[in-house]
Structure 1
Amino acid sequence: MQHFASDNYAPVHPEVMAAIAAANDGAAVSYGGDPVSARLQDRATEVFGERARIFPVLNGTGANVISLMASAPRWGAVIASDVAHIHTDENGAPERVGSLKVLAVPSVAGRIGPDAVDRYAGDIGNVQRAQPAVLSLTQVTELGTVYSVADLKLLADAAHACGLRVHVDGSRLANAAAALGVGLREITTDVGVDVVSLGAAKNGGMLGEAVVVLTDDTARSGDPAGLAGAVPYLRKATMQLASKTRFVSAQLLALLGEPGTPTSGTSSSGTVAADGAPLWLRNAAHSNSMAARLRSGIETAGLLEPGAGVRVTYPTEANVVFATLPRAAADRAREHARFYDWAPGESGDRVEVRWMCAWDTTDSDVDDFVRAIAAAL
């Protein structure tokens, strides 16, 4: 089935499937006490830094909820953008399960700035208000844009200055790193992020993500357990601890690479090396390039010309293209490949759509789809 609906539609990458099969060799200690999970921990310190602690979980919503619960007291609140997944698409899980109020702030093309912290800093210490405790950022944002390294540092510094922790919803963190031409550490640990929800399923995994604690913040927070001490208990209490954790760990290890292998394969120009790049980077760079090809194909075909019918609504910075077009044309194009409506268009007869590319999207998939859009128009 050809699709531009979601990178969740993509199959499991063969290297990930092979890693799962390799982990299925005899008995192993349950709940993460197995050799595969031990190697994953070793690899996490190589990729994210020596203080990093990685905790495999079952899905992205679980990773977000655990990360936020570990980062905030019961009376705490989470500052996030108005389009953040934790605010719009997780059925209120941080609030229902984590008892944490989400404080949504307006975004520009999905991104927020340090003024998002300033907006609620005055509430700190006011018993009448939910207490801001965490700044949550989505990288790549829900609108396909990417925070720069410099912007992430400014945001983390602003949050820490007010005593807030910093969480990154990294369901597409790999795509952001590939787009910026940096490693995973450069957009997390090195800019001051405290905890990451690390995505896998959208980048070639089967199921399972991870909570990655990046800092030993016991001194700053005054909590003797700190984030790394809290996550194991929260993972169990929120039903995110797999008894056969080795099969989740195997997927993450296949994507990150075995201990001792290169942590990135990008040059200073951001290109991916043909050899030596870890799977997370190869997959993400490919899906990003397919979105760039789709965006370029639409333009080359003249579909963005005035009166041609298509208007791209956000920058194409990762693996997704957002655009508006006549609703009837969108429905006709959907006969060729699945994709989702995102929002109303500029008028009642137009609709905004999302065209998402994945690790398995091919050049011919993109080129055929561009022709289908042109025919639909």
Structure 2
Amino acid sequence: MNFSSENFDAVHPAMMQALVDANTGFESSYGKDSYTLAATKLFKEEFGEEIAVYFTFNGTGANNFALAAITESYQSIFCADIAHCYVDEATAPEAFSGCRLYPITTVNGKITLDGLQTQLKRKGDVHHPQANVVTLTQPTEYGTIYSLEELRAIKAFCVSNGLLLHVDGARFFNAAAALNVSLKELSEGVDVLTLGGTKLGMMYGEAVIFFASTLSSSLKFTHKRSMQLASKNRYISVQFQAILREKLWLQLANYTNHLAKCFEKEIKKLNNIQIIYPVQSNVVFLKMSKSLYLKMQSYASFYYWDEQREEARLVFSFSNTLAEIKKFVEILNEEIHSLTSNS
């Protein structure tokens, strides 16, 4: 059993078929092919006509491109203290954008207005990086989801302080499905969105969507400079066609979110295991001793997220099943009792 990450899963059959279907004949390069044009049309139907969409190879590259496109190197970016761009992208965002990342203390993985206000200081001070962007992760690294009300409040803060809002949406489709809103509704007020494809079943590829507030003629040059411009771009864009056409994204996101809720229900039947954060997407965190985690590795793969806080993370992908969940919880219960009786 594997609950480590969607990155461990295979390519979804619909996306693999899309790749096969696109793998014939000659097409223009660097995003001028018919598949990219068709995908761009679908993006505009979902997010609005006043957008520009650029395709990238991976999440770190997408975030680098997105943030560098809307900042100057003397500026700063506010992010969650557990944000992927701060914790898991090495120094790439700072190296590429030249900006300072300032971590904001979070509650259940979410940035708060109080946290933002605390970091907002020394405006106009030549000795201090100048704040320009707030970046959120939706859903957060803990799988929690910003509500529309929370997003509007953060956007209002950004507007009143002259800041732009970037969203790292590696699992953005899961958030939209969980909130039962359209992609356009969930991105309202966002200036730049990094939209994940790999975690929904693509072989590789992400999209960066720039909304009206950040459209400029320089975007294509930053895209190239970020080394994310694919010569055979059709193989990225055709997978997004498969995701967006007939709302496959909603089917997959609903399914993986449902698996997480079923897992939560099963876990709550046990007495000696705790779910740490609200289960709102396809990610679940358990409080688990290192010894129990090591025992469970004989049966299933999942991450020990934070050893100090004894956090274990499980992520549910399209290939996971309810039968696996029931089996995992059954084994977990047995191992808990085994460790308890031996202690």
Q: TM-score, normalised by structure 2?
A: 0.95
Shift of 1:122: 2.8
Match of 1:17 in 2: 16
Match of 2:254 in 1: 285
Shift of 1:230: 2.8
Task: Check the 8 A contact 1:71/1:227 in 2, yes or no.
Answer: no
Task: Check the 8 A contact 1:325/1:345 in 2, yes or no.
Answer: no
The answer to whether 1:53 aligns with 2:41 is: no
Structure (1 or 2) with the greater helix fraction: 2
Q: How does 1:63-74 map to 2 (within 5 A)?
A: 63-74=62-73
Task: Check the 8 A contact 1:287/1:360 in 2, yes or no.
Answer: no
Match of 1:100 in 2: 99
Match of 1:252 in 2: 240
Looking at structure 2, the residues matched to 175 and 230 of structure 1 have their Cα atoms a distance apart, in angstroms, of 31
Task: Check the 8 A contact 1:330/1:376 in 2, yes or no.
Answer: no
Task: Check the 8 A contact 1:36/1:250 in 2, yes or no.
Answer: yes
Match of 1:173 in 2: 172
Looking at structure 1, the residues matched to 264 and 219 of structure 2 have their Cα atoms a distance apart, in angstroms, of 41
The answer to whether 1:211 aligns with 2:204 is: no
Task: Check the 8 A contact 2:77/2:102 in 1, yes or no.
Answer: yes
Shift of 1:325: 2.0
Looking at structure 1, the residues matched to 116 and 264 of structure 2 have their Cα atoms a distance apart, in angstroms, of 34
Q: Which amino acid aligns with 2:323?
A: S
Match of 2:304 in 1: 341
Once the two structures are superposed, residues 95-151 of structure 1 have per-residue CA deviations (whole angstroms, 9 ceiling, x without a partner) of 112211101110001001223432233322111110111010000001110000111
The 3-state SS of whatever aligns with 2:288 is strand
The 3-state SS of whatever aligns with 1:174 is helix
Match of 2:290 in 1: 327
The 3-state SS of whatever aligns with 2:156 is helix
Once the two structures are superposed, residues 260-301 of structure 1 have per-residue CA deviations (whole angstroms, 9 ceiling, x without a partner) of x5xxxxxxxxxxxxxxxx11111111111111111111112x
Match of 2:265 in 1: 296
Distance 1:63 1:69, change over 3 A: same
Match of 1:272 in 2: none
Higher RCO (CA 8 Å, separation ≥ 6 residues)? 2
Shift of 1:41: 1.1
Looking at structure 1, the residues matched to 45 and 326 of structure 2 have their Cα atoms a distance apart, in angstroms, of 39
The answer to whether 1:187 aligns with 2:186 is: yes
Once the two structures are superposed, residues 168-187 of structure 1 have per-residue CA deviations (whole angstroms, 9 ceiling, x without a partner) of 00000011111101111111
Distance 1:228 1:3, change over 3 A: farther
Looking at structure 2, the residues matched to 115 and 68 of structure 1 have their Cα atoms a distance apart, in angstroms, of 23
Instruction: Specify which of 191, 196, 200 is matched with residue 199 of structure 1.
Output: 196
Once the two structures are superposed, residues 247-271 of structure 1 have per-residue CA deviations (whole angstroms, 9 ceiling, x without a partner) of 00011111111xxx5xxxxxxxxxx
Looking at structure 1, the residues matched to 41 and 163 of structure 2 have their Cα atoms a distance apart, in angstroms, of 28
The 3-state SS of whatever aligns with 1:229 is coil
Distance 1:345 1:373, change over 3 A: farther
Match of 1:121 in 2: 120
Q: Which amino acid aligns with 2:304?
A: D
Match of 2:323 in 1: 364
Match of 1:160 in 2: 159
Shift of 1:231: 2.4
Task: Check the 8 A contact 2:124/2:130 in 1, yes or no.
Answer: yes
Looking at structure 2, the residues matched to 25 and 370 of structure 1 have their Cα atoms a distance apart, in angstroms, of 46
The 3-state SS of whatever aligns with 1:355 is strand
Instruction: Specify which of 247, 254, 279 is matched with residue 316 of structure 1.
Output: 279
Structure 1 alignment gaps of length 5 or more: 218-225, 262-277
Looking at structure 1, the residues matched to 150 and 203 of structure 2 have their Cα atoms a distance apart, in angstroms, of 32
Looking at structure 1, the residues matched to 7 and 229 of structure 2 have their Cα atoms a distance apart, in angstroms, of 22
The number of aligned residues is 336
Looking at structure 2, the residues matched to 232 and 105 of structure 1 have their Cα atoms a distance apart, in angstroms, of 31
Looking at structure 2, the residues matched to 228 and 318 of structure 1 have their Cα atoms a distance apart, in angstroms, of 34
Q: Which amino acid aligns with 2:230?
A: A
Match of 1:352 in 2: 311
Shift of 1:335: 0.7
Structure 2 alignment gaps of length 5 or more: 337-343
Percent of residue pairs bearing the same amino acid type: 35
Distance 1:38 1:199, change over 3 A: same
Task: Check the 8 A contact 2:86/2:101 in 1, yes or no.
Answer: yes
Aligned-residue RMSD, C-alpha: 1.3
Looking at structure 2, the residues matched to 194 and 345 of structure 1 have their Cα atoms a distance apart, in angstroms, of 36
Looking at structure 2, the residues matched to 116 and 187 of structure 1 have their Cα atoms a distance apart, in angstroms, of 22
Shift of 1:3: 0.3
Query: Which one is further off, 156-165 or 227-236?
Result: 227-236
Once the two structures are superposed, residues 218-248 of structure 1 have per-residue CA deviations (whole angstroms, 9 ceiling, x without a partner) of xxxxxxxx54433211111111111000000
Match of 2:219 in 1: 231
